[in-house]
Chains A and B, each alone.
Chain A
Amino acid sequence: MSSLLTVAMPKGRIFQEAVELLRQAGYPLPPEFEDSRKLIIEIEEAGMRFILAKPMDVPTYVEHGVADVGIAGKDVMLEEERDVYEVLDLKISDCYLAVAGLAELKEHSVAPKIATKYPNVAAQYFREQGEQVEIIKLNGSIELAPLIGLADRIVDIVSTGRTLKENGLVELEKIREITSRIIVNPASYRMKAAVIDELVERLSKVVESKEEIR
């Protein structure tokens, strides 16, 4: 076990904003950091080792303790329900989870079908609404499902709403707001308390100062 703090970063949408935040918090990440195709990047000056994972997998790495800390969207946290500490809302990558469907929604008479990347979240949401639905798990391009008749409605994250609009879908219900979070492995939270507390402290200062500007 090295003394570096292992941080699981989500590739894609959140990555750039998260890197920016870490830099603002005073962690010296080199400019070429973003361009690397490596999956593991060690940055001794920052005392950190970064692993680049699929966003949906970040909580898995952290739960098993191969990463001490991770950055994960609340959507992923809700879907995965991993046993990790969720310690700080970074307030980046704002979006929300919503139910959407065709403008003139024709409910399936036998069993309403929902297509989604988030089967657990969707199942729980509709249960809470008192509605029994059948869920079909997809891995991407969820908007396709109602267009082609695979499902009546979808549950997905919406940031600008453009994709929905361009495909003739309308938002029906908002489920909840989503932002990215710092998550921490329970063992690391105690064994590496000082380093992790400092990371959280520095990041929360950056987050707070941004809030004030807004």
Chain B
Amino acid sequence: MSKPFVFEKPMGMRDTLPVLYQVKQQVRTVMEQEIRDWGYQFIQTPTLEYYDTVGEASAILDQQLFKLLDSEGKTLVLRPDMTAPIARVVSSSMKDVAYPIRLAYDSAVFRSQQREGGRPAEFEQVGVELIGDGTSSADAEVIALMISTLSKAGLQEFKVAVGHIGFLNELFVEVLGNEDRAEELLRFLYEKNYVGYASHVKNLPLSSIDKKRLLDLLHLRGGEDVLRSAEELTAVGGKKAISDLRELLNILELYGVQDKVVLDFTLFSHMSYYTGIVFEGYTNQLGFPLCSGGRYDQLLGEFGRSAQAIGFGIRLDYLLEALSAKEPLAVRTCIIFSAENRKEAIAKSRELREQGHSVVVQDISGIGNVDEYSSRFQDVIYVIGKSEKGEAR
């Protein structure tokens, strides 16, 4: 293996240059404000966690974890998401705070990338967790807040697909009789392999009516009328999930965001993590979901303080890609001075900054090409030579 060149970074690591940094900062500020306005409190957790706690509990696959060893030989992970660390905090440092708890975060998370570019290994996620509330009101609040946060950030055209893990589990167990067989089918949905799903169903020893029920599931995508089609597929098991979803849609209508939501019963993004409703957000400009979330009623139990919980995470990197980035406000004013006028230059800069301007104060002898340098700014104030007055141009 050759040594890296000085310009190289580890795979998937990216720099944020000034222009992007500023746009990101603006978007981040708007999103944080919106989330705070809904009564969520921001927290921070460490970058490193134990593999045996947060690493194991996280929804992120093992091969995507960055692992390292501490001086005692314990395995550490760079936090792969924020949900597991928050579950840890809520079960330990905040264990005396009564449920429900509303927390939010804006943090970098890490996913090791094995294959190719186009996917960062470190990216910022803005999200919330609503812990200790299992109601449909909580489900709707989290989805409505996610939609509102995206809209405030400036994203216009997007859709949130909502599914229900409970429905899939109940339907499959009802038709197939046991969970092992249900898992085989879930695996096809997880792999997004509908062709494999359909041919597996065709080969099962089932009545043609049951086969049709399983095949029709693949078409359960769309608006509210999908709920009626879903009802026809299930005798008892999935009814609860359907009424959950119906209630959810009604509440989302109260929030005025129902036009952003589509139902999708095939949505199944994780083999075992989520327990109730799940959702993913998409926009036209992006090939990947830019946000996702769902109900995870098992996770808190792994940290010893069982609770129903739901949350979302928005990927700031994808969101910025999807937003038509506005030209950020750069530093517009520069005072170029010569050494004998330093005092005046500094006084002038203080005055301008107090008025709210960003000002660069630059010693002329530190610049190679004055014309080239000054062309970067809209206003240049020269404080040069013996004359008292600055010359502006």
Residues of A within 8 A of B (CB): 1, 63-66, 83-89, 181, 185-188, 190-191, 193
Cα–Cα distance between A186 and B269 once the two chains are bound (Å): 11
Interface mask (B268-293 → A, CB under 8 Å = 1, otherwise 0): 00000000000010111111110000
Q: Which of B195, B262, B280, B282 contacts A181 (CB 8 A)?
A: B195
Of all chain B residues, the one with the shortest Cβ separation from A62 is B287
Our pick among A1, A64, A191 for the contact of B159 (Cβ within 8 Å) is: A191
Evaluate contact between A83 and B192: CB separation under 8 angstroms.
yes
- Say whether A191 contacts B287, CB under 8 Å: no
Candidates B192, B198, B280, B286; contact of A65 at CB < 8 Å: B286
B194 touches A87 (CB 8 A): yes
A66–B287 contact, CB under 8 A?
A: yes
Q: Is B328 an interface residue (CB 8 A)?
A: no
- Report A-chain residues with C-beta under 8 Å of the C-beta of B264: 190
In chain A, what residue has the closest Cβ to B197?
Answer: A86
Check if B222 sits within 8 Å of A193, measured CB to CB. Answer: yes
In the complex, the answer to whether A1 meets B284 with C-beta atoms within 8 Å is: yes
Alpha-carbon distance A9/B222, docked complex (angstroms): 28
**Closest B residue by C-beta to A200:** B194
Which residues on the A side are within 8 Å of B282 (C-beta)? 186-187, 190-191
A85 with B286: CB separation less than 8 A:
no
Q: Is the CB of B195 within 8 A of A88?
A: yes
Whole-angstrom CA separation of A89 from B283 in the bound complex: 27
- Say if the beta carbon of B196 comes within 8 Å of chain A: yes
Q: Provide the residues of chain A in CB contact with B157, threshold 8 Å.
A: 191
B340 nearest CB across to chain A (Å)? 57
How far does the alpha carbon of A86 sit from the alpha carbon of B159 in the complex, in Å?
21
Q: A193-B221, A193-B222, A193-B262 are in contact. Are A187 and B192 (CB under 8 A)?
A: no
Interface string of B192-206 (1 = CB under 8 A from A): 111110110000000
Tell me if B118 and A86 are in contact (CB < 8 A): no
Chain A residues with Cβ below 8 Å from B280 are 186
Chain A residue at minimal CB-CB distance from B282: A187
User: Nearest-CB distance from A188 to chain B (Å)?
Assistant: 7
Residue of A nearest to B264 (CB): A190
Which A residues touch B222, using CB under 8 A? 193
A-B CB proximity, top 7 nearest: A65-B287, A187-B282, A85-B192, A89-B195, A190-B282, A86-B193, A86-B195
Q: Which residue of B lies closest to A85 (CB)?
A: B192
Please give the distance in Å from A114's CB to the nearest CB on chain B. 22
**A1/B285 in contact, CB under 8 A:** yes
The reply on B161 being an interface residue by CB < 8 A is: yes
In Å, the complex CA distance between A68 and B284 comes to 10
Whether B286 pairs with A187 at a CB distance below 8 angstroms is yes
Least Cβ–Cβ distance between B246 and chain A, in angstroms? 20
Q: How far is the CA of A181 from the CA of B386 in the complex (A)?
A: 79
Q: Are A85 and B287 in contact (CB under 8 A)?
A: no
Contact A186 B288 (CB under 8 A): yes
Please name all residues of chain B whose beta carbon is closer than 8 Å to the beta carbon of A84 when the two chains form the complex.
192
Q: Which of B118, B283, B284, B289 contacts A186 (CB 8 A)?
A: B289
Q: Which residues of B contact A86 (CB under 8 A)?
A: 192-196
B161, A190: Cβ atoms closer than 8 Å: yes
A-B contact pairs, 28 of them (CB 8 A): A1-B284, A63-B287, A65-B286, A65-B287, A66-B287, A85-B194, A86-B192, A86-B193, A86-B194, A87-B195, A88-B194, A89-B195, A89-B198, A181-B195, A185-B287, A186-B192, A186-B282, A186-B287, A186-B288, A186-B289, A190-B161, A190-B282, A191-B157, A191-B283, A191-B284, A193-B221, A193-B222, A193-B262
Contacts of A88 in B (CB 8 A): 194-195
**B288 touching A65 by the CB < 8 A rule?**
yes
